[in-house]
Amino acid sequence: MFRGIDDVDWASLGHAYTDSATDVPELLWGLASEDAELREIALDGMYGAVHHQGDVYDSTLACVPFLFELIASEAIADRGAVVGLLCSIAGASEDQDTADDDWFGESAAFDPEVHEDWQRPFFDARDMVRGRAGVFLGLLGDPDPGVRAAVPAALGRLHAEPVRVLGALRGRLAAETDPEAARSLARALGTLAVRVPADVGAEAGGLLRELVAGVPDPELRMTALTELARCAPGELPPDTVEIALDVMRLARETAELPPAPPAPGRPRTNTLISHLRELEAEHRRGLGLHEADELLAAFHGELRDRADIRFPLLIGMLESPDGRQRRHAVSMAGRLLTGWRAPDDEPVLALARLLREDDLRLQKDVLRELRHLAPVSHGASAELVSYVEAWEERPVETGTPFAEMALGLAFEVVALQGDERIVPGLGHVLEVVEIPENLPRWIEALGPAAAAPLGPVLDARLTALGHPTPSAGLDALAGALGLLRHGPSVPLLTRILRETTDPRTRRAVLRALSDYGPSAAEAAEPVRRLWESAELREEERVDAARALWALTGDAEAVLPLVRESLRSRSWGRWYGAIRLTGALGRSGAALAPTLRDMIAAGETPARAAAALWQVTGDPEEVLPLIAEQWPAAPKERPALAAALAGTGPAAAPALPLIRAELASARRHNNDGSGGNMRYDVRPDVALLADCRRVLAACGGQSDEEPTG
């Protein structure tokens, strides 16, 4: 073992912590130890120093031949972990999600004119491991199931002959008896199909379909189904939802059986790798995660835009007889419904029906997701109103801020739905609770007419602050009163504007007065004095300009500042200026040259194009710009659609874009971000509404119009 290890000049090599790698041979010998604890410590050292945070050093390269010696010897334990280490060194770990699963691409070579010198070891490591990847083929039938579970991933990502690898994997499928190794074979088939679809994609997909249809192990079927969704989502079987729900059923039945004896675990050592493993295990225990639950979550992720499968599956998960599975489905519902447009109200209704369960933690989880979904959850209004009305029968949460109480969350969701039935109760609540920071959003959703009864309550709360110090509550009250345009509050807001020296409070009041518009004309004089003073900071001036314009209609006074701010590198200042440009409308016609220059220079061209329409109203100039920017800037489509909706029948050339948007299952702002991402549904709802307005104005009708 390790012939030639003493011939390496380790003292001249380095790793993350030292320029002398003389400690590395001890780590290598530790990986070969019969003592499990020493092996664990050595593996931690390899990841902590020799391959620190994925880096590759000259000592890392020197280790590669010896690591291959380790995995070739059946006398060594824990060789599966060493296979994983080699994959990571080669830049092909399972955490990466590129088509070829390495940093630079399989065919890329180090070029000093393209790459920095520090990148050379990464190329060398990749090539060294790939050059020896044939060793992995001989380990597919290794006696150690841990090795057999690790090797397929290495072959799928690293071997240079995918056709040969596919044949080896196919030959091993029927013989494999270890469940984890069998699932690893299925995952490797998916990796091959994604990595080299032209060479092996069709055959790998066929093998995955055979596994889905023919194996009794439900978790293997689920893994194969997930890999098929990953590499060939269009070829999923018609009964995909039934298969996935059957896996859930079998998981429930398995959970009811007496627990199997725990498998021998790795030793507990004072190492980071051991600590992280324990943290992960504790996390899984805390969530009650089972293998089937994680497989189902992975399957959802790979389905991406197959909404025809995802939403029926979600409903099945939310209606599972098992409470643990229902709880796990709640978070999935939030991720799915904020990222994709549901074809009907059924998924939201299935989520809201969980409020009937006598489980306060579950109820709060459901309400937190519905908070994100309020603009598309009107179908669940009756369920939510019933929940609020029945609150007197429920125990009171003590020591919890109102905004985080189940009742507070329910009030928020119903308000964000714009359901005016909540207004009387909300009036009583707002007399006593801490003012919610996002109260203005509640008022905006309810609308000034429906929410008008709240004006006196909010005015009284703001008055009670006396000489207020800056606070989120003050900002929220000012913003809410502005949206209500509550006339009796104008003198109070004007007094606060005169007395405060705090920029945050000034901006909150200026924005509120802007929302009042001419009905707060009495505030124009102090706003103008403030505008003309040197007291304002740069970031406040756009807010003051907006208020001055809204109160007086004096466009000439604010145009120079708006023109300057449109070219600002400060996002806040630019955003305020682009919004004010839209509010100015034709009064901002003098801004058109600036907007044209922005478009020509590629500076926020989508927003500039939408603003150009607002100030010129010229569809002949703007429509080609919108058509160009629609695919280039998906997140700006709400602004572009609003511009199109104002052009009437002249928007007809854009109908193909409009129809495609209405037929899309994915929300416009869904960029595919993973994790627990929740997308803002409000702009997508506005986008769909404007798209339908365009369609109606042009006498068209969409083939598919998702409701949510």
User: What six digits make up the tokens of 399?
Assistant: 């020591």
**What band does 145 get if pLDDT is binned at 50, 70 and 90?**
very high
Asked whether the predicted pLDDT for residue 674 surpasses 80, the reply is no
How far is it, in rounded angstroms, from Cα 100 to Cα 90? 12
The verdict on residue 289 lying in a domain is no
**What local confidence, expressed as pLDDT, does residue 103 receive?**
47
Pick the closest to residue 107 from 117, 96, 99, 97 (CA basis): 99
SS3 content of the chain, % helix, strand, coil (to 5): 70, 0, 30
* Mean per-residue pLDDT, 286-293: 60
CB 448 within 8 A of CB 484: yes
Question: pLDDT band at 100, cuts 50/70/90?
Answer: very low
Q: Which range among 350-364, 464-478, 598-612 shows the weakest confidence by mean pLDDT?
A: 464-478
pLDDT at residue 101, as a whole number = 41
CB atoms within 10 A of CB 568: 16
| 343-368 tens-digit pLDDT | 999 999 999 999 999 999 999 999 99
Domain-embedded: residue 46: no
Instruction: Provide mean pLDDT across the span 665-690.
Output: 92
In the chain, pLDDT over 70 holds for what percent of residues? 91
C-beta of residue 64 within 8 angstroms of C-beta of residue 72: no
The pLDDT confidence band at residue 251, using thresholds 50, 70 and 90, is confident
- Residue 152 in any domain: the answer is no
Could you tell me what percent of the chain has a pLDDT over 90?
A: 77
Per-residue pLDDT at 529 exceeds 50: yes
Is 144 among the domain residues? Answer: no
Q: What is the pTM of this model?
A: 0.86
Answer positive or negative: Cα dihedral of 244, 250, 256, 262: negative
pLDDT at 673: 80
Let me know how long the chain is.
Answer: 708
Is 266's pLDDT higher than 80? Answer: no
At residue 297, the pLDDT reads 84
What lies within 8 Å, CB to CB, of 305 at 6+ separation is 233, 340, 665, 666
Q: Which residue has the higher pLDDT, 254 or 219?
A: 219
Contacts of 87 (CB under 8 A, 6+ apart): 93, 94, 129, 153, 154, 157, 158
Query: Biggest alpha carbon distance in the chain?
Result: 90
Report yes or no on 685 lying in a domain: yes
Above 70 in pLDDT, residue 455?
A: yes
Give residues with Cβ within 8 angstroms of 272, minimum separation 6. Answer: 44, 47, 48
Q: Which two tokens stand for residue 382?
A: 């009756």
Residue 294 pLDDT > 90: no
- Give the number of C-alpha atoms closer than 13 A to the C-alpha of residue 457, restricted to the C-beta side: 19
* pLDDT surpasses 60 at 263: no
Alpha helices in 101-201 (DSSP H): 120-131, 134-137, 145-158, 162-173, 179-195
- The alpha-helical segments, DSSP class H, found in 269-359 are 272-287, 291-303, 307-318, 323-339, 346-352
Tell which residue, 639, 631, 634, 629, has the closest CA to residue 686.
Answer: 639
Six-digit token string for 156: 């799928």
Positive or negative, the CA dihedral 189, 194, 200, 204 is positive
d(CA 200, CA 193): 6
Number of domains in the chain: 1
Residue 631 lies in a domain: yes
Residue 689 lies in a domain: yes
From the centroid of its chain, how far is CA 71? 38
pLDDT mean over 661-671: 96
What integer best gives the mean pLDDT of the chain?
A: 90
At 428, is the pLDDT very low, low, confident or very high (cuts 50, 70, 90)? very high
pLDDT score recorded for residue 246 = 87
**pLDDT category, 690, cuts 50, 70, 90?**
very high
Q: Which pLDDT does position 706 carry in this prediction?
A: 55
- Residue 694 domain boundaries: 618-708
Distance CA 85, CA 93 (A): 8
Note whether residue 527 is domain-resident: no
Q: What average pLDDT does this structure show over 673-680?
A: 85
Q: Which of 117-121, 483-487, 492-496, 694-698 has the lowest mean pLDDT?
A: 117-121
